[in-house]
Amino acid sequence: MADLFNQNPDASAAALPGKPLADRLRPKKLDEVVGQEHLTGPDGALTRMIRSGTLDSLIFWGPPGTGKTTVARLLAGETSLAFEQISAIFSGVADLKKVFDTARMRRSQGRQTLLFVDEIHRFNRAQQDSFLPVMEDGTIILIGATTENPSFELNAALLSRARVLIFKPHEADSLERLLARAETEEGKPLPIDEEARAVLIRMADGDGRAILTLAEEVWRSSGEGEVFDAEGVQNIVQRRAPIYDKGQDGHYNLISALHKSVRGSDPDAALYYMCRMLDAGEDPLYVGRRLVRMAVEDIGLADPQAVVIANAAKDAYEYLGSPEGELALAQACVYLATAPKSNGVYVAYKAAMRAAKENGSLLPPRHILNAPTKLMKETGYGDGYQYDHDMPDAFSGQDYFPEAMGRQRYYDPPERGFEREIRKRLDYWAKLRRERAAKG
């Protein structure tokens, strides 16, 4: 396969007639990348890697149009690695074998290969496993790009050998900088007024490639001396701008407002912000998923039905579609806002996760370990276990934490909603535990 960086295809292709504006403006150096300063800025993660002279295998996770492919190509140039690119949509086992064979040959000549795999999450588990040997022996440095959560879509073995870097959606200021670059490239300003420019930025929805494509459409459609207003821009590109309050930053501010209104038990404000999002063209299923999140984060066991109702509303929307399905989301929104609130489980989960990370692989106490073999029985597995159903009150009071930790408490339910009943149970069991400990 072609060594893309040594042949410098971007330089030759830039002169081709009809080349899209987004390709013509593709950065030539890492510090020209817009919108990912946490990665490519002076103190960014990638900048530090290059400065140290080492480049690890990486997974680039982020939405479309945020520069994942561009940055991968630039890294190859910055490190003098041979660059290979494949897409998991169009490639199979045979393609991977060819790439690996080429990389091995190149490796035998003393040069490593940077392999960029677009949409890597589309490879199945066996295909993902095929990367492991060539990553381990240094044949390739893998950079995989995905729009999906790597935790769910990629093998644990692959993730353990690669570092995940998050690419953020472009904010309004970085999209504005891209427009300014486009105007410099074209040698003329966009023929739109200030309000239309803001509309165009909102239409891009954080996608750098999209903002440049939209700008091209405007230029192509403009006549001599013509300047478009917001309505004119929408007519040209045939894309509805989100109707977000201009004093807000759009999508992220509104979802934050919806979440905090639910948490603050204000059903009217919650409904208002939810409708703002839906009216702006937000995906109703996204709203449904966020409602499920609110149910487990801010209501939890204070009302165990909250997550059931939120999830049912999401399913109802999937079943009914628009416009009937939105009513199910509205019902769930009001229910969550008026439910008793608790983050007890959320706090407990974070504390338990922190303890799990800090304490390592401690063995559970032997009395709660199963003993399916004779050797395990002889070494004490299961000795002393008390079957709770055979104990008074169906409660043994035994300690289930690793001996090195001792008993811990993460969950502290408040005196609200159903958790008032849960607290009674926990207090009762604590009393029984103390009484049985006193008896020896």
Distances in whole angstroms, Cα of residue 91 to Cα of each of 88, 153, 156: 5, 17, 22
Mean predicted lDDT score pLDDT of the chain: 87
pLDDT tens-digit map of 325-335: 999 999 999 99
Does residue 21 register a pLDDT over 70? yes
Please identify which residue in the block is written with the tokens 């199979």.
92
pTM above 0.85, yes or no: no
Residue 248 has pLDDT above 50, yes or no: no
List, edge to edge, every strand of the sheet that includes 82-87: 82-87, 113-118, 140-146, 58-61, 163-166
The phi, psi pair for 365, rounded to 5°, reads -60, 145
Tell whether the model's pLDDT for residue 323 goes beyond 90: no
pLDDT at 344 over 60: yes
Asked whether residue 4 carries a pLDDT value surpassing 70, the answer given is: no
> In this predicted structure, what is the pLDDT of residue 225?
83
According to the model, what pLDDT value does residue 377 have? Answer: 85
Contact 254, 295 (CB under 8 A): no
Statement: residue 104 has pLDDT above 90 = yes
Query: Considering only CA atoms, which of 226, 301, 165 is closest in space to residue 218?
Result: 226
pLDDT given for residue 349 in this prediction: 93
Average pLDDT over residues 258-268: 95
Rounded average pLDDT over 410-431: 93
* CATH number given to 357-438: 1.10.3710
Angle between helices 284-294 and 325-338 (to 10 degrees): 20
The terminus-to-terminus CA distance of the chain in angstroms comes to 74
| Nearest alpha carbon to residue 75 among 4, 151, 25 | 4
pLDDT tens for each residue of 272-307:
999 988 887 788 999 999 999 999 999 999 999 999
The pLDDT, as a whole number, for residue 18 is 67
Side-chain-side CA neighbours of 32 within 13 Å: the count stands at 10
**What residues have CB less than 8 Å from 208, skipping those under 6 apart?**
22, 34, 35, 65, 66, 67, 170, 174, 175, 178
- Is pLDDT above 90 for 91? no
Is 172-237 CATH 1.10.8? yes
* Domain 251-338 CATH (choose: 3.40.605.10, 3.40.109.10, 1.10.150.530, 1.20.272.10): 1.20.272.10
Residue 254 confidence class, pLDDT cut points 50, 70, 90: confident
CATH 3.40.50.300 describes domain 4-166: yes
Q: Does residue 9 carry a pLDDT above 60?
A: no
Could you tell me which residues are beta bridge partners of residue 61? 146, 166
Using the 8-state DSSP alphabet, how is residue 296 labeled? I
pLDDT of residue 250: 59
Per residue in 166-224, pLDDT tens?
A: 999 898 899 999 999 999 998 999 999 998 898 888 888 888 998 999 999 899 888 88
pLDDT for 13: 44
- Encoded tokens for 88: 């998991």
Alpha-carbon distance of 11 to 329, in angstroms, equals: 51
Domain residue spans in the chain?
Answer: 4-166, 172-237, 251-338, 357-438
Is pLDDT of 394 > 80?
A: yes
Query: What pLDDT does 77 receive?
Result: 83
Please answer whether residues 280 and 242 qualify as being in contact, where contact means their C-beta atoms are separated by less than 8 angstroms.
yes
Residue 83, strand partner residues? 114
Cβ atoms 385, 424 nearer than 8 A: no
Give the residue from 348, 381, 344 showing the smallest Cα distance to 363. 381
Residue 22 pLDDT > 50: yes
